[in-house]
Structure 1
């Protein structure tokens, strides 16, 4: 899962050596000066540079927990957990560096796209709990004061009961004045429960919505919609209208899309002609052409990365 640094001088990637779990490494653009960033941490994968090059988003799997999104400084320090939900993968930064989009496993066979606003999420995690003010303990009752009983008052003659009003109906006899009138009963609250502070769901699908990549202007996402392990298409999601448009109509597996740095092109993987290769198309899905189709059966494409 390689990712170019914003200045184009370094490449970050994940690697497993021997039987050890995945760790994150960085190297020079020519392949030299390879060095680990994960330190003593393992199960780190899918690294992605922030637009300013200061932070790296990645997936970390704890030994007894599900994968989650983390960020760290470009030197591997100051690891911070984001998107406290299970089975997150393939984070991608927004062009302004304030949000991260990722796919999240909802249940067996379904993954949808979610986005986390970094500042909002972290502020909610750091907010102190509401202070609970204990109620004061009740003071003991004072000693009862003995008050002499007053002399009994003389009895008053009883007034005769009023005769019933012939103009009132029986169901009105027991009602007090103003009773039964006023505001209607309140309806229960219809506000839906919040997913989590700072996290928003972007797609609602019964398929795998995976491999998201942000357009350079921040208005769209390109992603893979996988209906089966052998059938997938490249889609684009307008983040303002939430409309989805399919860009590839050919059969087979078409996925792992990635925007060009100027937003005019998209590269992706496809086996449409019987062999796995890298293809390129215009941002609207037109003018599809092969870029590299000399891959063997043992070759695997997991992620593309453009360089300016």
Structure 2
């Protein structure tokens, strides 16, 4: 695989062979982007000035230029076919709506104005219509509206868990993704009649699809128990393959106008070290270097060792570090992550994947022998277990989260004596990052249950089920709460551009722990609460161009076939033999 240097536009690539070209990297990127129809630049969202605004990157000069200003989030921009406007999603009016941006003078105007969230705009090939998604979560519609404004028209007749869509070259069909299968599924949707034809079966997490302008193929992001790849699939028979597989997240592909190149962004989120902050001395001690790409860490009960996750070649493993000697040793448990040390020091709880093709499970590992015990293998209803797990202070229970529906997750408690797993929460919210309180009587966690897709911190009483709000819900980005014996809440908070360690006192007041520095994640207190382990992280959004994807040396070459009339996709789209699937507007549970 050839990898070219940055600095040239598409026209200046100078090769007929396949290559991957890194166009730009943005440490403040927000994870979306689209290349212009003329191939000279791309637009992306970035926090380069604190707020999430639209920025342009010129492929010829290699320079960034700001496009929008303001305190609202400007995201998901898409180019009009004539290269003169952008349609984008913005919360500048109080909630998400579709806005237009004029390239000639930078003027913006609001296109939609419903009382609910509206997002993911896409221009029709003639530039007259914009498709988008709107409605409350779980009851969303695909809609179209004139680019001149006016009343929108629903494409779907019944609401569902609609995702995003883009136009097919004929200007009639939309290719969309939805979450009604319990994961992500790609569909073709007739914008006039609402007729739906399945493209994928919904067993993987497939999202953000786009049809090639010159070939009967669709590109989209696909995830199977891990990071995303760019997946390209023929429409006629459902045969597909990944563009490239790495240890990062490759997302949201868009085709260039000639159908020969794919633009996408790559989310590189990696550990940049593990450190410990001493509350008494205010000192910070670095423990694990960035070279190990470390992740979540946990103290041994005596405070003399830590266990932490480390990554290599896209796989994670556990290591134990002796804090006195600085020597670390591997835990021979296979692929594992999110370790939590038991109160007696004998076992480590973690998320564990028995083999690369299986799902993640909840397991405990014997510290002396490294032998794992998997607790969730017979529970087919549990999924999305690659997340923090916490020991109760008595060492007899674990609490963890399991995804139930897309963007919904419950908390569960595992009794280690009986092996019984019971629900701690059971509703339609997204509950995340649970941890037992030091007295063992409650669990603190983060959740969207405040509504409006905002995070709040909560404490649930294990005996009564009573729920107490600890912080939020609001539009402050806060993560991974942990409580201490004296009533403090430790977490991370994005006060400006990056996550920082935050300490909230029992009276509700708090402060950013500035001495910890930026890029902090996963704070875990020691048993006495006076020291806090945390992971330093580094997140970068990279923007890539896969050139000449149909060339003979391309990974996609086996999918190549003769060109077809791009103006009549209905004639080349055949329903693939995928078996029974569900309508994109069916809201029945799996």
Q: TM-score, normalised by structure 1?
A: 0.67
CA–CA separation in structure 1 for the residues paired with 2:89 and 2:178 = 21
Larger radius of gyration: 1
Q: Partner residue of 1:58? A: 88
Cα deviation code 1:21-47 (max 9, x no counterpart): 210001123671210000346421111
Matches within 5 A, 1:77-116: 77-85=106-114, 86-105=116-135, 107-116=136-145
Does 2:156 match 1:203?
yes
Superposed displacement of residue 3, structure 1: 0.8
SS in 2 for 1:71: strand
Judge conservation of contact 1:247–1:284 (CA < 8 Å) in 2: no
Superposed displacement of residue 262, structure 1: 1.5
Q: Pick closer, same or farther for the CA change 1:275–1:68 going to 2, 3 Å.
A: closer
Judge conservation of contact 2:230–2:253 (CA < 8 Å) in 1: no
Q: Partner residue of 1:2? A: 33
Judge conservation of contact 2:132–2:165 (CA < 8 Å) in 1: yes
CA–CA separation in structure 1 for the residues paired with 2:141 and 2:195 = 15
Superposed displacement of residue 16, structure 1: 1.3
CA–CA separation in structure 2 for the residues paired with 1:208 and 1:40 = 30
Does 2:213 match 1:261?
yes
Gaps of 5+ in 1: 122-196
Matches within 5 A, 1:241-260: 241-249=193-201, 251-260=203-212
Give RMSD over aligned pairs.
2.2
Q: Partner residue of 2:168? A: 215
Q: Partner residue of 1:144? A: none
CA–CA separation in structure 1 for the residues paired with 2:88 and 2:140 = 18
- RCO greater where, 1 or 2, for CA within 8 Å and sep 6 or more? 2
Q: Pick closer, same or farther for the CA change 1:40–1:277 going to 2, 3 Å.
A: closer
Does 2:222 match 1:276?
no
Judge conservation of contact 1:222–1:258 (CA < 8 Å) in 2: yes
Cα deviation code 1:163-209 (max 9, x no counterpart): xxxxxxxxxxxxxxxxxxxxxxxxxxxxxxxxxx4310011344321
Among 28, 38, 46, which residue is 2:68 paired with? Answer: 38
Among 183, 208, 221, which residue is 1:231 paired with? Answer: 183
Q: Pick closer, same or farther for the CA change 1:69–1:9 going to 2, 3 Å.
A: same
SS in 1 for 2:255: coil
CA–CA separation in structure 2 for the residues paired with 1:25 and 1:274 = 29
Give the stretch that moved more between structures: 277-286 or 2-11: 277-286
CA–CA separation in structure 2 for the residues paired with 1:87 and 1:264 = 32
Q: Pick closer, same or farther for the CA change 1:31–1:215 going to 2, 3 Å.
A: farther
CA–CA separation in structure 1 for the residues paired with 2:191 and 2:178 = 16
Q: Partner residue of 1:71? A: 100
Judge conservation of contact 1:236–1:246 (CA < 8 Å) in 2: yes
Does 2:26 match 1:21?
no
CA–CA separation in structure 2 for the residues paired with 1:29 and 1:285 = 36
Judge conservation of contact 1:14–1:45 (CA < 8 Å) in 2: yes
Number of equivalenced pairs: 225
Q: TM-score, normalised by structure 2?
A: 0.36
Q: Partner residue of 1:178? A: none
CA–CA separation in structure 2 for the residues paired with 1:248 and 1:239 = 19
Q: Pick closer, same or farther for the CA change 1:51–1:59 going to 2, 3 Å.
A: same
Cα deviation code 1:239-294 (max 9, x no counterpart): 24321011112512111111112252101111248653211112345221222222
Q: Partner residue of 2:77? A: 47
SS in 2 for 1:304: strand
CA–CA separation in structure 1 for the residues paired with 2:134 and 2:155 = 11
Judge conservation of contact 2:53–2:70 (CA < 8 Å) in 1: no
CA–CA separation in structure 2 for the residues paired with 1:224 and 1:16 = 27
CA–CA separation in structure 1 for the residues paired with 2:236 and 2:157 = 22
SS in 2 for 1:97: coil
Judge conservation of contact 1:37–1:76 (CA < 8 Å) in 2: no
Larger strand proportion, structure 1 or 2?
2
Does 2:323 match 1:293?
no
CA–CA separation in structure 2 for the residues paired with 1:9 and 1:91 = 21
